[in-house]
Amino acid sequence: MTDEGNPSADAGVLITFEGGEGAGKTTHIRFLAKALEELGYSVLMLREPGGTELGEALRTLVLDPSLAPVSPRCEMLIYEAARAQLVDEVIRPALEAGKIVLCDRFTDSTEAYQGFGRGIDRGQIQSANLFAADGLVPDATLLLRCEGAAEGLVRATHHGTADRLEQAGIDFHQRVQLGFDQMRQESGGRIRLVDTSGPKSLTAAQVFSALADVIPALADPRTFDEDYFAVLDVRSHG
Protein backbone atom coordinates (compact mmCIF):
# COMPACT_ATOMS: atom_id res chain seq x y z
CA MET A 1 0.00 0.00 0.00
CA THR A 2 1.23 3.49 -0.83
CA ASP A 3 0.00 7.03 -0.29
CA GLU A 4 -0.30 7.61 -4.02
CA GLY A 5 -4.09 7.37 -3.99
CA ASN A 6 -4.47 10.47 -1.83
CA PRO A 7 -3.95 13.83 -3.49
CA SER A 8 -3.32 15.73 -0.27
CA ALA A 9 -3.27 13.49 2.78
CA ASP A 10 0.14 12.27 3.88
CA ALA A 11 -1.29 10.67 6.98
CA GLY A 12 -4.73 9.09 6.95
CA VAL A 13 -7.96 10.67 8.09
CA LEU A 14 -10.52 9.04 10.38
CA ILE A 15 -14.11 10.22 9.96
CA THR A 16 -16.85 8.63 12.03
CA PHE A 17 -20.61 8.67 11.64
CA GLU A 18 -22.88 8.56 14.66
CA GLY A 19 -26.56 8.82 15.48
CA GLY A 20 -29.59 6.92 16.65
CA GLU A 21 -31.18 4.00 14.85
CA GLY A 22 -32.28 4.48 11.25
CA ALA A 23 -30.59 7.86 10.80
CA GLY A 24 -29.49 6.92 7.27
CA LYS A 25 -25.77 6.62 8.03
CA THR A 26 -25.13 3.83 5.52
CA THR A 27 -26.50 5.75 2.53
CA HIS A 28 -24.43 8.82 3.31
CA ILE A 29 -21.23 6.93 4.06
CA ARG A 30 -21.47 5.13 0.70
CA PHE A 31 -22.23 8.36 -1.15
CA LEU A 32 -19.31 10.17 0.48
CA ALA A 33 -16.95 7.27 -0.18
CA LYS A 34 -17.82 7.31 -3.87
CA ALA A 35 -17.21 11.07 -4.09
CA LEU A 36 -13.87 10.78 -2.31
CA GLU A 37 -12.79 7.97 -4.64
CA GLU A 38 -13.75 10.14 -7.62
CA LEU A 39 -11.48 12.82 -6.17
CA GLY A 40 -8.64 10.31 -6.14
CA TYR A 41 -8.57 9.38 -2.47
CA SER A 42 -8.10 5.88 -1.21
CA VAL A 43 -11.10 5.16 1.02
CA LEU A 44 -12.02 2.42 3.45
CA MET A 45 -15.60 1.96 4.73
CA LEU A 46 -16.07 0.14 8.04
CA ARG A 47 -18.76 -0.47 10.59
CA GLU A 48 -18.78 -1.01 14.32
CA PRO A 49 -19.15 -3.46 15.78
CA GLY A 50 -17.65 -5.40 12.89
CA GLY A 51 -15.11 -4.87 10.14
CA THR A 52 -13.04 -7.92 11.10
CA GLU A 53 -13.95 -11.60 11.28
CA LEU A 54 -13.83 -11.54 15.08
CA GLY A 55 -15.67 -8.22 15.20
CA GLU A 56 -18.51 -9.51 13.01
CA ALA A 57 -18.82 -12.58 15.28
CA LEU A 58 -18.97 -10.28 18.33
CA ARG A 59 -21.57 -8.15 16.54
CA THR A 60 -23.81 -11.17 16.02
CA LEU A 61 -23.44 -12.07 19.72
CA VAL A 62 -24.08 -8.60 21.14
CA LEU A 63 -27.14 -7.92 18.98
CA ASP A 64 -28.75 -11.37 19.38
CA PRO A 65 -32.13 -10.92 21.14
CA SER A 66 -32.12 -14.56 22.28
CA LEU A 67 -29.12 -13.88 24.57
CA ALA A 68 -30.95 -11.23 26.67
CA PRO A 69 -30.57 -10.19 29.42
CA VAL A 70 -26.97 -9.04 29.01
CA SER A 71 -25.13 -7.23 31.80
CA PRO A 72 -24.43 -3.59 30.74
CA ARG A 73 -20.74 -4.06 31.63
CA CYS A 74 -20.55 -7.18 29.50
CA GLU A 75 -22.28 -5.33 26.67
CA MET A 76 -19.80 -2.47 26.89
CA LEU A 77 -16.82 -4.81 26.93
CA ILE A 78 -18.02 -6.68 23.83
CA TYR A 79 -18.21 -3.39 21.91
CA GLU A 80 -14.76 -2.41 23.19
CA ALA A 81 -13.32 -5.82 22.32
CA ALA A 82 -14.59 -5.59 18.75
CA ARG A 83 -13.14 -2.06 18.56
CA ALA A 84 -9.69 -3.09 19.78
CA GLN A 85 -9.51 -5.75 17.08
CA LEU A 86 -10.71 -3.34 14.38
CA VAL A 87 -8.20 -0.64 15.36
CA ASP A 88 -5.21 -3.00 15.44
CA GLU A 89 -6.12 -5.13 12.43
CA VAL A 90 -7.62 -2.55 10.07
CA ILE A 91 -7.88 1.12 11.11
CA ARG A 92 -4.34 1.78 12.31
CA PRO A 93 -2.70 0.16 9.23
CA ALA A 94 -5.10 2.01 6.90
CA LEU A 95 -4.30 5.38 8.50
CA GLU A 96 -0.59 4.65 8.31
CA ALA A 97 -1.08 3.93 4.59
CA GLY A 98 -2.68 7.39 4.18
CA LYS A 99 -6.25 6.22 3.60
CA ILE A 100 -9.45 7.99 4.49
CA VAL A 101 -11.30 5.72 6.89
CA LEU A 102 -15.08 6.19 7.14
CA CYS A 103 -16.43 4.35 10.15
CA ASP A 104 -20.12 3.75 10.82
CA ARG A 105 -20.10 4.26 14.62
CA PHE A 106 -17.07 4.41 16.90
CA THR A 107 -16.24 5.41 20.49
CA ASP A 108 -19.05 7.99 20.78
CA SER A 109 -21.65 5.23 20.35
CA THR A 110 -20.35 3.47 23.46
CA GLU A 111 -20.58 6.68 25.47
CA ALA A 112 -24.10 7.39 24.19
CA TYR A 113 -25.56 3.86 24.36
CA GLN A 114 -23.76 2.28 27.32
CA GLY A 115 -23.19 5.60 29.15
CA PHE A 116 -26.32 7.69 28.69
CA GLY A 117 -28.48 4.69 27.67
CA ARG A 118 -27.44 1.99 30.17
CA GLY A 119 -26.17 4.31 32.90
CA ILE A 120 -22.49 3.26 33.06
CA ASP A 121 -20.22 6.02 34.36
CA ARG A 122 -19.05 8.17 31.45
CA GLY A 123 -15.52 8.58 32.82
CA GLN A 124 -15.09 4.81 32.89
CA ILE A 125 -16.37 4.54 29.34
CA GLN A 126 -14.02 7.26 28.16
CA SER A 127 -11.08 5.36 29.67
CA ALA A 128 -12.23 2.10 28.08
CA ASN A 129 -12.70 3.88 24.74
CA LEU A 130 -9.17 5.27 24.81
CA PHE A 131 -7.79 1.83 25.70
CA ALA A 132 -9.75 -0.01 22.99
CA ALA A 133 -9.10 2.63 20.33
CA ASP A 134 -5.42 2.71 21.33
CA GLY A 135 -5.71 6.48 21.79
CA LEU A 136 -7.22 7.14 18.35
CA VAL A 137 -9.66 10.05 18.21
CA PRO A 138 -11.60 10.78 14.99
CA ASP A 139 -10.54 13.83 12.96
CA ALA A 140 -14.23 14.63 12.57
CA THR A 141 -17.49 13.01 13.60
CA LEU A 142 -20.82 13.57 11.91
CA LEU A 143 -23.88 13.19 14.11
CA LEU A 144 -26.80 12.35 11.85
CA ARG A 145 -30.03 13.18 13.59
CA CYS A 146 -33.49 12.25 12.47
CA GLU A 147 -36.63 13.84 13.87
CA GLY A 148 -36.75 11.67 16.96
CA ALA A 149 -35.75 8.33 18.36
CA ALA A 150 -39.23 6.92 17.78
CA GLU A 151 -39.28 7.63 14.04
CA GLY A 152 -35.74 6.32 13.69
CA LEU A 153 -36.60 3.11 15.46
CA VAL A 154 -39.67 2.58 13.32
CA ARG A 155 -37.57 3.09 10.19
CA ALA A 156 -34.79 0.79 11.39
CA THR A 157 -37.13 -2.06 12.25
CA HIS A 158 -39.48 -1.60 9.30
CA HIS A 159 -38.11 -4.42 7.17
CA GLY A 160 -37.36 -7.12 9.72
CA THR A 161 -37.12 -8.26 13.31
CA ALA A 162 -35.58 -5.82 15.77
CA ASP A 163 -32.14 -6.69 17.20
CA ARG A 164 -31.48 -6.62 20.97
CA LEU A 165 -30.48 -2.93 21.04
CA GLU A 166 -33.42 -1.86 18.89
CA GLN A 167 -35.69 -3.68 21.36
CA ALA A 168 -34.32 -1.66 24.30
CA GLY A 169 -37.33 0.67 24.40
CA ILE A 170 -38.14 4.24 23.52
CA ASP A 171 -36.89 5.72 26.84
CA PHE A 172 -33.49 4.13 26.30
CA HIS A 173 -33.26 5.50 22.77
CA GLN A 174 -34.34 8.96 23.89
CA ARG A 175 -31.55 8.97 26.51
CA VAL A 176 -29.10 7.95 23.76
CA GLN A 177 -30.26 10.80 21.53
CA LEU A 178 -29.95 13.38 24.34
CA GLY A 179 -26.54 11.91 25.16
CA PHE A 180 -25.28 12.42 21.62
CA ASP A 181 -26.48 16.06 21.75
CA GLN A 182 -24.68 16.70 25.03
CA MET A 183 -21.51 15.04 23.76
CA ARG A 184 -21.62 17.19 20.64
CA GLN A 185 -21.81 20.35 22.71
CA GLU A 186 -18.86 19.20 24.80
CA SER A 187 -16.73 18.02 21.85
CA GLY A 188 -15.06 21.33 20.98
CA GLY A 189 -16.24 21.13 17.35
CA ARG A 190 -15.18 17.55 16.59
CA ILE A 191 -18.80 16.33 16.49
CA ARG A 192 -20.84 18.13 13.82
CA LEU A 193 -24.62 17.92 13.62
CA VAL A 194 -26.30 16.95 10.34
CA ASP A 195 -30.07 17.25 10.17
CA THR A 196 -31.54 14.36 8.18
CA SER A 197 -35.18 15.49 8.18
CA GLY A 198 -35.02 16.93 4.63
CA PRO A 199 -34.41 15.14 1.31
CA LYS A 200 -31.33 12.91 1.11
CA SER A 201 -29.66 15.33 -1.32
CA LEU A 202 -29.82 18.06 1.32
CA THR A 203 -28.39 15.79 4.00
CA ALA A 204 -25.53 14.75 1.71
CA ALA A 205 -24.72 18.39 0.92
CA GLN A 206 -24.57 19.08 4.68
CA VAL A 207 -22.28 16.08 5.17
CA PHE A 208 -19.87 17.39 2.52
CA SER A 209 -19.78 20.95 3.84
CA ALA A 210 -19.39 19.74 7.45
CA LEU A 211 -16.15 18.05 6.38
CA ALA A 212 -14.72 20.98 4.41
CA ASP A 213 -12.07 21.80 7.03
CA VAL A 214 -10.80 18.21 7.01
CA ILE A 215 -11.03 17.62 3.22
CA PRO A 216 -11.26 21.01 1.48
CA ALA A 217 -12.01 19.49 -1.97
CA LEU A 218 -15.46 18.49 -0.69
CA ALA A 219 -16.44 22.16 -0.58
CA ASP A 220 -15.79 22.82 -4.30
CA PRO A 221 -19.14 24.04 -5.68
CA ARG A 222 -18.09 23.32 -9.30
CA THR A 223 -17.87 19.60 -8.60
CA PHE A 224 -20.43 19.25 -5.85
CA ASP A 225 -23.38 21.23 -7.15
CA GLU A 226 -27.12 20.54 -6.80
CA ASP A 227 -27.09 18.05 -9.69
CA TYR A 228 -24.39 16.01 -8.03
CA PHE A 229 -26.54 15.43 -4.94
CA ALA A 230 -29.89 15.20 -6.75
CA VAL A 231 -29.27 11.56 -7.71
CA LEU A 232 -29.92 10.64 -4.07
CA ASP A 233 -33.54 11.74 -4.28
CA VAL A 234 -34.38 9.43 -7.17
CA ARG A 235 -36.51 6.66 -5.70
CA SER A 236 -34.58 3.81 -7.31
CA HIS A 237 -31.44 4.93 -5.45
CA GLY A 238 -33.13 4.12 -2.14
Cβ pair 186, 55 in contact under 8 A: no
> Of the two residues 6 and 110, which places its CB atom closer to ligand TMP in the complex?
110
Residue 113 binds to ligand TMP (criterion: CB under 6 A): yes
Burial code (b: 16+ CB inside 10 Å, e: under 16) for 193-231 equals ebebeeebbbbbbbbbebbeebbebbeeeeebeeebbee
Q: Which is nearer to ligand TMP, 105 or 200 (CB)?
A: 105
How far from chain centre, in Å, is Cα 169? 21
The span from the CA of 52 to the CA of 46, in Å, is 9
Q: How far is the CB of 208 from ligand TMP (least distance, A)?
A: 22
Shortest Cβ 215–ligand TMP spacing (Å): 24
Nearest alpha-carbon partner for 129 in 141, 207, 170 = 141
Interacting positions 165-204 with ligand TMP (CB under 6 A): 165
User: Closer to ligand TMP at the Cβ: 108 or 228?
Assistant: 108
Min dist. Cβ of residue 26 to ligand TMP (A): 8
Question: In the complex, what is the shortest distance from the CB of residue 106 to ligand TMP, in angstroms, rounded to a whole number?
Answer: 7
User: CB of 97: closest distance to ligand TMP in angstroms?
Assistant: 24
Near ligand TMP in 38-77, by CB under 6 A: 47-49
By CB under 6 A, tell whether 105 contacts ligand TMP. Answer: yes
CA separation for the pair 68, 109 (Å, rounded): 20
Q: Does 141 bind ligand TMP (CB under 6 A)?
A: no
Query: Are 23 and 145 spatial neighbours (Cβ–Cβ below 8 Å)?
Result: yes
- The H-or-E segment that residue 80 falls in is helix 72-86
Q: Which of 42, 52, 109, 201 binds ligand TMP (CB under 6 A)?
A: 109
144 binds ligand TMP (CB under 6 A): no
Largest Cα–Cα distance in the chain? 53
Nearer to ligand TMP, 155 or 209 (CB): 155
Q: What are phi and psi of 64, to 5 degrees?
A: -70, 115
Site residues for ligand TMP, window 13-32 (CB under 6 A)? Answer: 21
Residues that bind ligand TMP (CB under 6 A): 21, 47-49, 79, 104-105, 109-110, 113-114, 165
